[in-house]
Amino acid sequence: MVLIKNCIRNLEIKDKIIQRHYTMLKNLLKHFSKKKEDEKKTQTFQPLYRKYDRIINQQLAKDILLGTAIGDALGFPVQFIPRETVQKDPVIGMGKCRTFESPSGIWSDDTSLSLCLADSLCSGYNLRDIASKFIEWLFEGLWTPNNKAFDIGRTTMWAISNLRNGIEPKFAGLDGEKDNGNGSLMRIAPLIPYIYGLVEEQQIQIISEVSSLTHRHPRSILACIFLCKFAIQYLATKEIPTAFAYTQKEIKYLLTQEKFKNECSHFDRLVNLTYEQFRNIAENDIKSTGYVIDTLEASLWSVFNHDSFKDSVLCAVNLGYDADTVGAITGALAGIIYGHDSIPEEWLNVLARKEDIIELANKLDSATKSNP
């Protein structure tokens, strides 16, 4: 019984997914199930086993990367178009771009930079390597659908140019009040499989460093932390309202820290409204601009108000304006919640570089599951 208690205690440590404990628990359950006198023990451990079975065997990187690319590709055709115009002819599936000359299934910088991050993480966390892949994307077309970077945000352009000019990665990003676009939030989700099993201090440090490659203002960093922590809490609880509430507590604490203490008013709705209050915000009061807070709120609101991948992402892109980024982030979250198997096949069939994305996702899933 001491062996079993140690196994259960280790499994219940927050944010710890350790394959050997999962296997041990699985074998113990198999052993007890053969003995009638141990039926009560089996019933006690079975729910915990099922919980960790779902988490350990989830193809998290595949859920995130395909979700991101699909949301981006759905929103890209209506990027920059006002909401009222989009909703007169709403997006119902993959279509040709209305603002750029491109075919169906093409994705933008949101997905490109997410794939660059994922590619680097396959070999472990190395900020300089991530930076080099961002440089290669901008100047050589790495992880683009057509071998050329396009639709690049001002802050991201300047920051990657800083990286190319030798600025230290931690300080390359811009940190002015007007540098709070969604350019780091849109690409942060691939970190989730890598940081899931780390202690909180390490999670926050890595999220902050990766955001700061392009966006170094505390608001942008905290928005990235919010998104990643919500996803991590969802993976631990499998309940959206509970995950939101736990994330709010964590962000409220960070808002008391010196680095983030001036950001309270900007995160007001995100940390002070209950789940029900937040999901019941009127659509007219949800903005879908490129401002980082607007994008984070719009993505969460889209997920909270629907119960499928398809409906969540279509809601997001039909909010218009920065539709590709809101779609990409919503797609990442919906992918985590509903899984890549929930993505409509007809959307996947036209997704640019689908097989390359799947290959990279499988590689990252394998790499992160082998982490100690």
Eight-state DSSP code of residue 173: S
What are the residues whose beta carbons fall under 8 Å from the beta carbon of 74, sequence distance 6 or more?
A: 91, 93, 94, 313, 314, 317, 323, 327, 331, 347
pLDDT digits (tens, 9 = 90+) for 56-67: 557 999 999 999
- d(CA 224, CA 360) in angstroms, rounded, equals 22
Q: What is the mean pLDDT of residues 264-281?
A: 98
pLDDT digits (tens, 9 = 90+) for 75-101: 999 999 999 999 999 999 997 766 566
Identity of the residue numbered 115:
L
Residue ranges of domains in the chain: 2-53, 59-369
Range of lowest pLDDT (47-51, 127-131, 290-294): 47-51
Bridge-partner residues for 291, per DSSP?
181
Report percent pLDDT > 90 for the chain.
80
pLDDT digits (tens, 9 = 90+) for 185-210: 999 999 999 999 899 999 999 999 99
- Please give the model's pTM, rounded to 2 decimal places: 0.86
pLDDT of 283 over the 60 cut: yes
Indicate the class that CATH gives domain 59-369: mainly alpha
pLDDT of 152 over the 80 cut: yes
In DSSP notation, 98-148 reads: SSSS--TT---HHHHHHHHHHHHHTT---HHHHHHHHHHHHHH-TT-SSSS
Q: How confident is the prediction for the chain on average, in pLDDT? A: 89
pLDDT of 6 over the 80 cut: no
- d(CA 66, CA 356) in angstroms, rounded, equals 11
What's the length of the chain?
372
pLDDT of 40 over the 80 cut: no
Look at residues 311, 319, 334 and name the one whose alpha carbon lies nearest to residue 189.
Answer: 334
Q: What pLDDT is stored for residue 2 in this prediction?
A: 43
- d(CA 69, CA 143) in angstroms, rounded, equals 12
Evaluate whether 168 touches 149 at the Cβ level (below 8 Å). no
Identity of the residue numbered 133:
K
Rg (CA), the chain: 21
pLDDT digits (tens, 9 = 90+) for 214-268: 999 999 999 999 999 999 999 999 999 999 999 999 999 999 999 999 999 999 9
- d(CA 201, CA 99) in angstroms, rounded, equals 42
pLDDT digits (tens, 9 = 90+) for 298-338: 999 999 999 999 999 999 999 999 999 999 999 999 999 99
Q: What pLDDT is stored for residue 102 in this prediction?
A: 73
Higher-confidence residue: 265 or 48? 265
Which structure tokens are listed for 153? 């945000």
Give the Cβ contact number of residue 48 at 10 Å.
15
Burial letters 342-352, b for 16+ CB under 10 A, else e: ebeeebbeebb
Q: What pLDDT is stored for residue 10 in this prediction?
A: 47
Report percent pLDDT > 70 for the chain.
83
Confidence of residue 4 (pLDDT cuts 50, 70, 90): very low
Q: What pLDDT is stored for residue 80 in this prediction?
A: 93
